[in-house]
Structure formats: C-alpha cells, structure tokens
Amino acid sequence: MTRFNAMRAVWLCSRPFLSCMFAVAVCSSSSLAAAPKAGTQAPGFYRTALGDFEVTALSDGTHPFPIDTVIQGVSKADIAHDLDREFLQPPVQGSINAFLINTGAKLVLIDTGAGVLYGDCCGKVMANLRASGYKPEDVDEVLLTHLHKDHVGGIVANGAMAFPNAIVRTSQAEADYWLDPANKAKAPAFLASFFDAARASVAPYVAAGRFKPFSGNDVLIEPGIHARIEPGHTPGHSVYVIESASQRMLVWGDIVHVAAIQLQNPAASVEYDSDAGAAQRARRDMLDLAAGQRDLVAAAHIAFPGLGHIRKDGTTYQWVPVNYDASPAR
C-alpha cells in the first residue's frame, strides 16, 4: 500500500466505524490484486447418466491441431470463414477425450488417449480417471475405436499394462491392418510411427492373453454395448453404441476431427483418413443417425467433455453440447 493510502486509512479510522471498514477494504483489495495466476484447469472429468449407466468423460488434454496442413477438400478461405464463425483461429486446440462406462456390472473404458506419445500436452487420462474416483485396476475392459496413437497410447505405461485387469478389444480388421508389418511398408511414410505405436501399445496385452479383437459387425461386446464398424478413417474404425433404459449414446471415435469445419462441410477429410471417400460416407451416416434418433454423442475430438447432440440444419449440422448438470446421479 502506498504512503498516501496508508495515511488516508489512518484518517478514515478516526471517522465512524463504516469509514474504517472502507479503509480495511482498500488495504485488502490491494493485496488480493497481487495474487499470482493459478495457471491450471480443474481435473478433466465430467459425469452424466445414460439410463441406468454412468458415463464419465475423461480429458487426455488438448493439442494444437494443424488445420492448414491436415484438413483436405476445403479451401483456406472456407477454413478461415468456418473458424471465424466459431470464434476460433488456427491452430485450434484439439481435445482428446476418452469415455468410461459403468454398466453396474463392468467398468468399460472407450479409448485411452495418447499416453506419452504426444508429449507434455496430453497423457492426462490416468490422472483424470483417478480424480474421478476410479483406479486403473478397476477397469474390466478397454474398447478401442481404432489404433491411432491418440486412442491407443494410454493403454501402456513404461511398457507395461496400464490397466492390469482389463481385456483390450478392437475390431479384427483394425488389428490385422496396424499389426501387420507388411502394411507399414505400403502405407504413407508419415504413418510409419503409427504402426510402431500400435504394436508397442498392445504388446503387453498380447503377451498376457488380454488382447482379444472382435469380428463381424453389430457385435454385442457387453450387455448394452454393441460395436458397429464404420471404416474410412482407418480400415477397422469402430463406433460403440451404448444403450440403457431406452437411452442411447454413440461413442463415435474419429467421425469428426474439427467440428467447426466438418459439420459445415462433412466432405472435409483429414490426411490421416485411410479411405477419404469411405470416411465421408461414415461421417454422413453417423451425423444423420445421431440427428434423426436424437442420440447422445460422445466425440473423441470435440471440445471437452465431447458430449452433446447433433442438430441437422439443411445440408449442414450443428453441435449442441450437453447442458451442465451438477447432480448427474439418478
């Protein structure tokens, strides 16, 4: 406090009681203004109910998404326009989300984030799992939408199983593609590390007999959880359909990467799509399904918590985030 303010406070304290209280407030406000910035977010989990199931969204962190080099089939002018409409500018911070489903009988984690594979930005699923009240030992099953780094990297820690009691599952087509060295040799060079990461991540589960891919489509994984194959982004990319007490949720993996762009133009692709045409068809199918059935959507790369609904608007779509609920227990 300056000498002037100190003298003023002494003078005010010689006045009636309220003036003295004002002087104290002056002193207090001066000290509070000097408090350092905290610089951290709250723990990254959000919980909601789906019928009799409990759903917990877990943040793995955010990373700068290089839209100008990754998004394909959209002009730079359209990208700039779409981002500006959403009050965004490149590089947009892309969320990486995972989803924990408590069915009452089993605890099922869908996708696991990047682990250490994306650097310091990410790898927060485990901490947020613990913050949400669960332990990695509690997880009975890990379902992977696909084997890209930011979905599979979190199943290992220092080369060991991060979820020691879990069975890990993905589609057989996905496993066949990413775990076959012959496919790495034929793939674009920028995907080489994706093959390496997929093999290293599932290796301890394979060795323990806990990696069990599923075959076919519309596969019942657990009561209330079906797997639906929607290839395009990857050869065996899966969407998990969660149903309980007449409520339904689509955990759709990488159907959408940048909502601001791909909901306006579902034909927009990313360079990581193994088959851009198939990925576009899958995106249209899932958007129309979610909008038509009013399904809840759990999205890996829409801003955390990545839970919301799709509303169709002519030829485009809109994302409607879930309304915040401080008392999700039913």
CA angle 218, 220, 226 (to 5 degrees): 60
Report the pLDDT averaged over residues 321-325. Answer: 96
pLDDT at 14 over 70: no
DSSP state for residue 36 in the 8-state scheme? P
pLDDT for 230 equals 97
Write the pLDDT tens digit of every residue in 15-42. 554 444 444 444 455 555 688 999 889 9
Q: What is the C-alpha R_g of the chain?
A: 24
Give the rounded distance of the alpha carbon of 187 from its chain centre.
Answer: 26
What are the pLDDT digits (tens) for 91-111? 999 999 999 999 999 999 999
Q: How confident is the model at residue 237 (pLDDT cuts 50, 70, 90)?
A: very high
**Average pLDDT taken over every residue of the chain:** 91
pLDDT score, position 127: 98
pLDDT tens readout for residues 55-89: 999 999 999 999 988 999 999 999 999 999 999 99
- Give the residue among 166, 49, 154 at the shortest CA–CA distance from 101: 49
Q: What is the pLDDT of residue 327?
A: 85
- Whose structure tokens read 């799709």? 310
Q: Please say if the pLDDT value at position 313 is more than 70.
A: yes
Q: Is the pLDDT of residue 2 over 70?
A: no
Question: Percent of the chain scored above 90 by pLDDT?
Answer: 85
Question: Could you tell me which residues are beta bridge partners of residue 102?
Answer: 54, 107
> Mind listing the pLDDT tens digit for each residue in 40-54?
899 999 999 999 999
**Residue 198 scores a pLDDT above 60:** yes
What is the average pLDDT across 157-173? 98
CA distance 213 to 276: 24
| Contact call for residues 48 and 329 (beta carbons, < 8 A) | no
Whole-angstrom distance, CA of residue 278 vs CA of residue 254: 13
- Tell me what pLDDT residue 9 has: 44
> CA-CA distance, 242 to 234, in Å (whole number)?
21
**What's the pLDDT tens digit per position in 242-279?**
999 999 999 999 999 999 999 999 999 999 999 999 99
Containing 140, the helix (H) or strand (E) segment is none
The CATH number of 45-321, from 3.30.70.3450, 3.40.1210.10, 3.60.15.10, 3.40.50.2300, is: 3.60.15.10
Pairing relation of β-strands 247-251 and 296-298? parallel
**What is the Cα–Cα distance from 204 to 162, expressed in whole angstroms?**
10
pLDDT of residue 314: 95
Q: 290 Cβ partners below 8 Å, 6+ apart?
A: 250, 252, 297, 309, 310
pLDDT at 239: 98
For the cut 90, the answer to whether the pLDDT of residue 10 exceeds it is no
Annotated domain spans of the chain: 3-32, 45-321
Instruction: Give dist(CA 257, CA 163) in Å, integer.
Output: 27
Among 1-5, 132-136, 255-259, 265-269, which stretch is predicted with the lowest mean pLDDT? 1-5
- Which pLDDT score is estimated for 7? 43
The string of DSSP codes covering 264-330 is: T-TT-EETT-SSHHHHHHHHHHHHHHHHHHT-EEE-SSSSTT-EEEEEEETTEEEEEEPPP-S----
pLDDT score of 31: 57
pLDDT at 328: 74
Instruction: Look at residue 191 and tell me whether its pLDDT is greater than 70.
Output: yes
